[in-house]
Amino acid sequence: MPHHLLTLLDFTPEEAGRILDRAAAMKAVNYRSKLLDGKTCILIFEKASTRTRVSFEVAVRHLGGWPIFMTQNDSQLGRDEPIRDTARVLSRYGDCLIVRTFGHDKLEDLASFGSIPVVNALSDAYHPCQIMADLLTIREHSGRLDGLKLAYVGDGNNIVHSLINAAARFPIKVAVASPAGYEPSAAVVAKAREQGADVTVVADPAEAAAGANYLYTDVWASMGQEAEHAARVKIFAGYQINDALLAKAAPGAKVLHCLPAHRGEEITDAVIEGPASIVWDEAENRLHVQKAILEWIFTQGN
Ligand code: CP
Ligand code: NVA
């Protein structure tokens, strides 16, 4: 059975910690290897991407492998070839699928009908690779994870679901503030809590931000929700990371954003460009973490 990375709960806490250690070590030496020599990673992206696509393609090459990039527009996926048929065929050509899509069930289908590992490069429900890079960034800036509080302010989306899962694998506390009706999935929160996560969900951004070491936000309308953008701008108006909210966090608190950012919506220009922002280190760390994730994928008996 291949080992997949569909959510952060696919890692044990030990594996998750080791992947961060490997990513840090790889970053320190600008790591290259031949681990993927002769291997092909097929990227299927049904949504736009800058960071995830490029960091994965570069990571595959740094490990000596070959990436192939496909979208639904230039493949039969866009003409309704079932995902299960795609999975079975691509499994006979390639060694790993790296997939960005809408419904998380598509990733689960690819994993169950294919015979090669599947990596979640973002679904509507989760973005595990992003959050591993975020944790590496936090660990670099604080020198530890233990006991840190991260406050997420905004939509209860894929990013926050993976942050909540992260609290079940790493010793961080996650406090979420979302408007009513836009909270993270209660099932995701409950499952993470069962596995030890320290997670709170409130409506008041100031309450979540109080004493936080890190503030995190994401777009108010994710990919696929463009038609809701105008309505969401009104609903989320109080859920912005700005200087006033930053002042409620712990002294020296830092700010994360997975990017792309909408300045003036979920984050102000002053904060993202200011001294608290560590978003560029965060974006760089996507590359180092993808290499460590691929190493995990290809050394698990896959
Ligand atoms: N953060 C992130 O996943 O960015 P892209 O959409 O550019 O890949
Ligand atoms: N929540 C965002 C994340 C983008 C990296 C989206 O799904 O569009």
Q: What does the domain layout of the chain look like in residue ranges?
A: 8-127+286-298, 130-282
Ligand 2 contact via 222 beta carbon (within 6 Å): yes
pLDDT value for 301: 55
| Phi, psi for 253 (deg, rounded to 5) | -60, 145
User: In CATH terms, are 8-127+286-298 and 130-282 the same topology?
Assistant: yes
pLDDT value for 77: 87
At 35, the amino acid letter reads L
SS3 260: coil
Measured in Å, residue 219 CA sits from the centre of ligand 2 at: 7
Measured in Å, residue 47 CA sits from the centre of ligand 2 at: 10
Nearest alpha carbon to residue 219 among 203, 240, 234, 243: 240
Nearest alpha carbon to residue 184 among 168, 195, 200, 204: 200
pLDDT value for 1: 79
Q: Where are the alpha helices (DSSP H) in 30-127?
A: 51-62, 83-90, 104-113
CB atoms under 10 Å from CB of 218, counted, come to 25
List the CATH code of the domain at 130-282: 3.40.50.1370
Residues 6+ apart with CB under 8 A from 207: 175, 177
Site residues for ligand 1, CB cut-off 6 Å: 49-53, 122, 130, 258-259
pLDDT value for 78: 87
Fold exhibited by the domain 8-127+286-298 = Rossmann fold (3.40.50)
pLDDT value for 2: 85
pLDDT value for 300: 84
Q: Catalytic site residues?
A: 100, 127, 130, 218, 258, 286
Nearest-ligand number for the alpha carbon of 223: 2
Atom of ligand 2 nearest to the CA of 122: 7
Nearest alpha carbon to residue 281 among 51, 4, 15: 51
Spans of the chain below 70 pLDDT: 301-302
